Amino acid sequence: MRPVRLVFFFFAVLLLIPVPGLARVVSVENVRMWPAPDYTRLVFDLSGSVGYRLFTLSNPDRVVIDLHDARLVHPLPALGNNSAIVAGLRSGPRPGHGVRIVVDLRLAAQPRSFLLRPAGPYGHRLVIDLYDPAKAARDRARLRAMEIAPPSREFVVVIDPGHGGDDPGATGHMGTEEKNVVLAIARDLDRLVSAQPGMKAIMTRTGDYYVPLVTRRRMARGADVFISIHADSDPGRSPDARGASVYALSERGATSALAKALASNENGSDWIGGVNLGDVESGVGQVLGDLTKSATIADSLRLGDDMLPYLQRVAPLHSRKVEQAGFVVLKSPVPSVLIETGFISNPRDERRLRSPVFQEATARAIFKGLRRAEPWLLARRGVPLRIARAPAAPHEYTVRPGDTLMRIAQSHGTTVAALRNANRLRGSTIFSGMQLRIPAAGGRG
């Protein structure tokens, strides 16, 4: 008995003694670069959390990162040449189990760095964001101006392609990444909106880089609508789930288990994409007040209703009504919807989502929904249609439950008399499902 105990005791003591030279050494396993318009992000994959020191040097401009108790597993990969800020990377050992990484810069960039804990497919990461000071200041000023600007006479559409950068979103069987599909659809929509007189598009991201959810919804302020575009997997991992669906915010639970699971996936995006916790908690993400909230949700549902009939012509609908869940990105004081353009986990949907023809058709369907929502959204904020845009061509409107001639006239920038005239109506009686001819708005106004 006794010797066994002694041996055990001996090993127990041995485990408690720190052995010099055997200190935990962190491996630098990989590096990725994500250039955004105003900054470039470098992400280092690490085998564990690391201590580091970061400083800048000039002549020539460079950033030096000393990682303590770390080693390179293999030489750092070449980063490509598509950053306006980062020219290249060099590395070398430091005395006493360290690694020095030198980032050669094209301009005197301002670095911000933070560590990320394991999330999604990634382990520990060190993130270095290198800002172009001139562009970052311009961007901040533009964002502030958008928030305090008097309502524009244009119909402003914020287009939000989901994910980006380190966050690929969902991945299909053929390796299709959601972030690329939704960017392609968003670009098509951007082109359509920008070509429409009286409409203006703002993209939350224009390339392959991550934008925090709070920044995305902050860009929605001062706009008329916010459209987030996605193509997720079925969280239940069923390859059968397919089709498009439209989501609005819910303040009280989700309308389905799928909606709930999708929202919780989407809300986790920041952890995978990589967000500095300080930014999230600094209050940029202040949520709208209760009073505007319910009104905005009602408008978001109506906006979604305007989209569904057009989406249905492009793809089967997964759900015929606008579903709701607690999507963080939709928490802004403007009507906001999140459109799942299809399930990338479904092989048929994936093939479709990859096709530029389908991407364009989807963008066109969303655009038609926007055109349908534009009159009532503009009327709501008191912008006369005549001023807001070029005269609309005559078109048809299907009467919905609760509509009155007066309301239809107002939201289409016309008068009750003109409506009566165009439709040869004697009284004011209309019924749900009735087709009304809407006369061209404006003209001489």
User: Would you tell me which residues interact with Zn ion (CB under 5 A)?
Assistant: 162, 169, 230, 232
CA quadruple 126, 140, 180, 189: dihedral, nearest 10: 170
Cα gap 168→208, rounded to integer Å: 9
Q: Closest distance between Zn ion and the C-beta of residue 230, in Å? A: 3
Tell me whether residue 87 or residue 317 sits nearer to Zn ion (CB atom): 317
CA distance 211 to 58: 29
Nearer to Zn ion, 169 or 333 (CB): 169
Closest distance between Zn ion and the C-beta of residue 371, in Å?
25
Shortest reach from residue 167's CB to Zn ion, in Å: 9
| Closest to Zn ion by CB, 86 or 220 | 220
Considering the complex, state which of residue 129 and residue 167 has its C-beta at the smaller distance from Zn ion.
167
Cα–Cα distance measured from residue 441 to residue 307, given in angstroms and rounded to the nearest whole number: 22
**Partners of 44 in the β-ladder:** 31, 126
The H or E element spanning position 56 is strand 52-57
Question: Distances in Å between the alpha carbon of 388 and those of 264, 300, 385?
Answer: 38, 21, 5
Q: How far is the CB of 286 from Zn ion (least distance, A)?
A: 24
The distance of closest approach from Cβ of residue 253 to Zn ion in the complex, given in angstroms and rounded to an integer, is: 20
* Distance of closest approach, residue 342 Cβ to Zn ion, in angstroms: 11
DSSP 205-274: -SSSS---HHHHHHTTTT-SEEEEEE----TT--TT--SBEEEEE-SS--SSHHHHHHHHHHHTHHHHH-
Of 332 and 345, which has the nearer Cβ to Zn ion?
345
Residues 6+ apart with CB under 8 A from 95: none
CB closest to Zn ion, residue no:
230
**Collapsed DSSP state (helix, strand, coil) of residue 349:** helix
When the beta carbons of 196 and 359 are compared against Zn ion, the nearer one is: 359
Binning the chain into helix, strand and coil, the percentages to the nearest 5 are: 35, 25, 40
| Least distance to Zn ion, CB of residue 228, Å | 8
Whole-number Cα distances in Å, 22 to 18, 67, 406: 8, 17, 80
